Structure 1
């Protein structure tokens, strides 16, 4: 579920750097205002929950706002030429906030699933509650459990907040129902993809290529690319068919992103990516690399040996390299990006929007280089 933080072009959908910076600042300001409101509400009935909201805000700080920017991109793809009406701008900011809150919610739940207490080298919210429990004299297993339990609660609070904000963004619009439905689908798809990822990790045989592509489309591409673009387009008044076509482009880019993420998670440079190159293999995750290599019987045997602790990560990585899994995965990601850009040309999008989609595709394919 994690979508690693990555840098995109400074301008958003062809906006000037100053306008882009104002949009980012507006999203960050709105997030602070929203969380502050929840914190003050909670103080009246639960001081502990008020403190939790403070910690949630810290978890929300420092993101690159990729999803809000994609909401803006979807909006600008179909909005009347450079219409800068204040109510419309406010709705785009709110919808961008909704996706950022959703993203952080899912990351908190993901930390529990992966049993992680650090993210990008920083302690997670779960780590803070674990450390509180340790300081109070709890055993390490009980403290770990307390930390993960707190992360589930915080993720639930953020999930509820994200839905409320998304509903506010679309309120009274002709497409309000479609926006709500799209946001709900983003949540449902992410949950379905996470479940399939979990079940594949329990299987003794790696998932097949098409299964991995479908799982990654659900788990990451949907809430991070597809639905931000789709809901942004609906917010601008695009028809359901137009919004769906833009969403499909986002879906292809999102899967390509995750394929490269899989590559970096095994063959990348941790110093550049901030990603471990062992965790995916150690946890037995089904990635595009394992799916491609599994077409060779000897790789499946190596994976089984790893799961019985009779093989090493080094030997498994060597087997992946021998199967040419990395170049095949990169080629597949390129084909997805090429397909997305071809589809974008068919939509006759504004030139600035097409340029930004091209920038996304380039950045996806050159990550970690």
Structure 2
């Protein structure tokens, strides 16, 4: 059984997920407040990290659940909130890994606690270390809370077991993708396009797309074949989305996206954008801008080189191909096209627009 997604349904789903997420955060605040004021502050910072964003992951889960005739909206909202909290954890940890202290134009968890340490009189290195410690711990707490929310979502025991298996698979895939991302950035070897795309499929596709699609299907009682196809569609959607995010990470506007436009260049990420650029005659000039902080004029220059070399166009076309692959797989499940159009084409259609993940 399939259905259609209406604007009213989307608003109702978003509201139910937001309420479920707020309950999860409130529960954490209460437990933290009973232990230690600094720990309570950590939860407050975690709550701020969960604010904003597009909430497309829980929206994708709820839309899939509803389209497949699901009858467990309460459990779906809880699991959707868990996925959003999982996303928050990964964002916090990603900032720790990249050494970033600002997210969406304001101090992130690490930046907040580093600043507090400096106010208390700590030296620069100690303050940074304290901030990074807070980031690691906040991300860990968010992951634990997300898994607990799935375990207590109210679905039947066999459904909960399948959901936990999906979460476990997504956690392993994302960790592998993040490790690969950092490993490739070591610069000890040149990544192939296939290696770079596999890293992006693991890092983003697993938890951002495959997990909400498959969790929504499991909650709706879909058969194993449908769940498997949705996993494949999610993988392709994830690569398309990450390719668009890579472009935003160089060509975007941080005031709109909340995302640094120099981090990928500074840390030498071997994204498909950079892998393609390495194959062009402009690489010698492009590579001179990598691995260091860039001024405005330098950023403009490297952006121009990436456009002139054809690397930006290559990534845009590649993203479109992955998007069509996802669309093709989704058609075999009977899900309405709005599920894909409302979530993934936005960052791709407006080439110079930004989306906050």
SS of the residue aligned with 1:360? coil
Q: Any residues of structure 2 matched to 1:228-247 within 5 Å, and which?
A: 228-247=212-231
Q: How many residues align?
A: 347
Q: Distance in 1 between matches of 2:286 and 2:184?
A: 13
Q: Does structure 1 conserve the Cα–Cα contact (< 8 Å) formed by 2:150 and 2:160? A: no
SS of the residue aligned with 1:242? helix
Name whichever of 267-276 and 204-213 sits farther off.
Answer: 267-276
In structure 2, the partner of 1:5 is: none
Superposition RMSD on alpha carbons, in Å? Answer: 2.5
Of 318, 338, 341, 1:358 maps to: 341
In structure 2, the partner of 1:6 is: none
In structure 2, the partner of 1:33 is: 23
Q: Does structure 2 conserve the Cα–Cα contact (< 8 Å) formed by 1:264 and 1:277? A: yes
1:251 corresponds to 2:241: no
SS of the residue aligned with 1:276? coil
1:329 corresponds to 2:312: no
In structure 2, do the counterparts of structure 1 residues 278 and 45 end up closer, same or farther at CA, with 3 Å as the change threshold? closer
In structure 2, do the counterparts of structure 1 residues 170 and 74 end up closer, same or farther at CA, with 3 Å as the change threshold? farther
Q: Any residues of structure 2 matched to 1:99-178 within 5 Å, and which?
A: 99-169=83-153, 171-178=155-162
In structure 2, do the counterparts of structure 1 residues 195 and 330 end up closer, same or farther at CA, with 3 Å as the change threshold? same
Please state how far the C-alpha of 1:77 moved relative to its aligned partner.
3.4
SS of the residue aligned with 2:152? helix
In structure 2, do the counterparts of structure 1 residues 209 and 365 end up closer, same or farther at CA, with 3 Å as the change threshold? same
Q: Deviations over 1:272-295 (max 9, x none)?
A: 544433221121111111111222
Q: Deviations over 1:52-99 (max 9, x none)?
A: 22222222222321111111122123225xx4xxxx111001100110
Of 211, 215, 225, 2:199 maps to: 215
Please state how far the C-alpha of 1:348 moved relative to its aligned partner.
2.4
1:97 corresponds to 2:88: no
Of 38, 51, 64, 2:54 maps to: 64
Name whichever of 280-289 and 50-59 sits farther off.
Answer: 50-59
Please state how far the C-alpha of 1:331 moved relative to its aligned partner.
0.7
Q: Deviations over 1:134-186 (max 9, x none)?
A: 11111111111111111111111111111111122365343332211111111
In structure 2, do the counterparts of structure 1 residues 54 and 268 end up closer, same or farther at CA, with 3 Å as the change threshold? closer
Q: Report the TM-score when normalising by structure 2.
A: 0.89
- Structure 1 gap segments, 5+ residues each: 1-12
Please state how far the C-alpha of 1:126 moved relative to its aligned partner.
1.6
Please state how far the C-alpha of 1:365 moved relative to its aligned partner.
1.7
Of 317, 321, 333, 1:347 maps to: 333
Of 64, 68, 76, 2:66 maps to: 76
Q: Distance in 1 between matches of 2:115 and 2:344?
A: 41
Q: Does structure 2 conserve the Cα–Cα contact (< 8 Å) formed by 1:206 and 1:294? A: no
SS of the residue aligned with 1:174? helix
Please state how far the C-alpha of 1:105 moved relative to its aligned partner.
0.8
Q: Report the TM-score when normalising by structure 1.
A: 0.86
Q: Deviations over 1:4-54 (max 9, x none)?
A: xxxxxxxxx844434432322222222222222222223333333223222
Name whichever of 14-23 and 256-265 sits farther off.
Answer: 14-23
4+ runs deviating over 6 angstroms:
none
